[in-house]
Amino acid sequence: MRMHLKNEKFNKIITKKNLLIFLLSLIIVSIMVGILFYMSLPLDDKITSQNKILAYFNGELLDNNILINLKKSLSNNILSVLSIWILGISVIGVFFILFLFFMKGFTLGFSITTIFAKFNLKGLLATIFYLFPDKLLSLFLVLYISYHSLCFSYKLLTFLFIDRDINIHIALRKYLKTLVIGLVISIIISIMEVFITPFVLKTFTNFIK
């Protein structure tokens, strides 16, 4: 009996490790696809993308009212977390979770390539200013919530269709904790996006003038 429990626990660890490796591989692939997509754009579209990223660095896309910016950021980040979390409750939601996860990496790869194209030799420094602190934390959040959503979806699938002995109530309680943690992180990200990131990016644009 003990050997059976040990084997089952070991199999769970292996399964979760494989899922994490898969998600990390997917984010790398999606970033590469974003890079290749930018490179395949016509020159006019590349210039448009560069102008948008420059406007973002200069804070031109922000509203003058800080509360409005904070409300928009909170809405976007909280909606993103809730969407992935709710999809985890549905078995068919797995494909949508993977799609949203892929698009996160795709957007990041596209943005980084645009930054390098716009700032040339200063692109590496610009990328560091762009990623820290909220963009990397946002990427971690999507990885975190997607990982737990896929794990819960798998447990739900085995519970409903394979009749596996799973305490679904305990699993749901843990899944609710994931939501709470995700929402807290999304609030932190929004605060960074509104109060820290604009200052950091503006400092960079003033530095290169």
User: Alpha helices, DSSP H only, in 91-167?
Assistant: 93-119, 123-131, 134-161
Q: What is the DSSP string of 34-91?
A: HHHHHHTS-HHHHHHHHHHHHHHHTTTTS-S-HHHHHHHHHHHHHHHHHHHHHHHHST
| Nearest residue to 94 via CA among 23, 42, 21, 41 | 23
Q: Model confidence at 16, in pLDDT bands (50, 70, 90)? A: confident
- Whole-number pLDDT of residue 154: 84
pLDDT for 66-89, tens place per residue?
A: 888 899 999 999 999 999 999 998
SS3 174: helix
Q: For the segment 83-135, what is each residue's pLDDT rounded down to a tens digit?
A: 999 999 887 788 999 999 999 999 999 999 999 898 887 878 888 888 888 89
The predicted model scores a pTM of 0.86
Please name which of 115, 136, 122, 149 lies closest in space to residue 27, comparing C-alpha atoms. 136
**Peptide bond preceding 198 in cis form (omega within 30 of 0):** no
